[in-house]
Amino acid sequence: MAIHKPKILYVMGVSGSGKTTIGKLLAKALNFPFFDGDDFHPRSNIDKMKSGKPLNDHDRKGWLEKLNHLAIQHKEKGAVIVCSALKQSYRDILGKHLLDKHKFVFLDGTIAEISNRLKERKNHFMPSGLLQSQFDTLEKPRQAITVSIAKTPEEIMESILKTFEKGKAPD
């Protein structure tokens, strides 16, 4: 399935919500390149999270600007970028200079659902102890495709793609 005009799709949610899994599936389905926002964090952010300290707005600003620059580079041909995008102000930075060429896909889950997932996760710099800080920071988006993480990855993808088919993606 192809979107009429190439887009930037940000797959967002707290750590452990399935952003990477869904982002890769979405990129494959749309034939867009995939970018994991975690790969663009400066070393200082990763070290801070590894030490159990949550990032603040100042820590995130340069990272979000890098992701926005990446999106601008791909706004004509399309891309899927995964990023927590927890606050509206972060989403504003991510959408800067993209006009109507971007959309957020919010993977919504409860702290219990995600906590269980994080317990099974190995080799990730984000400790499960920071999950509560992510929920405390989260401002659920008003203008996004919102999908429950209680579904299987295939069901989540089907739901997202059906939303595009119904014309709910920006033109």
Span 61-88, pLDDT tens digits: 999 999 999 999 999 899 999 999 999 9
Residue 171 belongs to a domain? no
Looking up residue 52, the CATH number of its domain turns out to be: 3.40.50.300
pTM beyond 0.95: the answer is: no
Residue 150 lies in a domain: yes
CA atoms within 13 A of residue 65's CA, in its CB half-sphere: 7
| Contact residues for 163 (Cβ-Cβ < 8 A; gap 6+) | 145, 169
What three-state secondary structure class fits 156? helix
Q: Does residue 167 surpass a pLDDT of 70?
A: no
Query: Looking at the domain assignment, is residue 146 inside a domain?
Result: yes
Residues 138-156 pLDDT 10s? 999 998 999 999 999 999 9
> What pLDDT, on the 0 to 100 scale, is given for residue 1?
43
At 121, which amino acid appears? R
Whether pLDDT at 112 is above 90: no
Q: In this structure, is residue 170 part of a structural domain?
A: no
For 36, the domain range is 8-165
Tell whether 137 is covered by a domain: yes
pLDDT score, position 105: 95
Residue 124 confidence (pLDDT): 47
Give the total number of structural domains in the chain. Answer: 1
* Range of lowest pLDDT (11-20, 54-63, 91-100, 157-166): 157-166
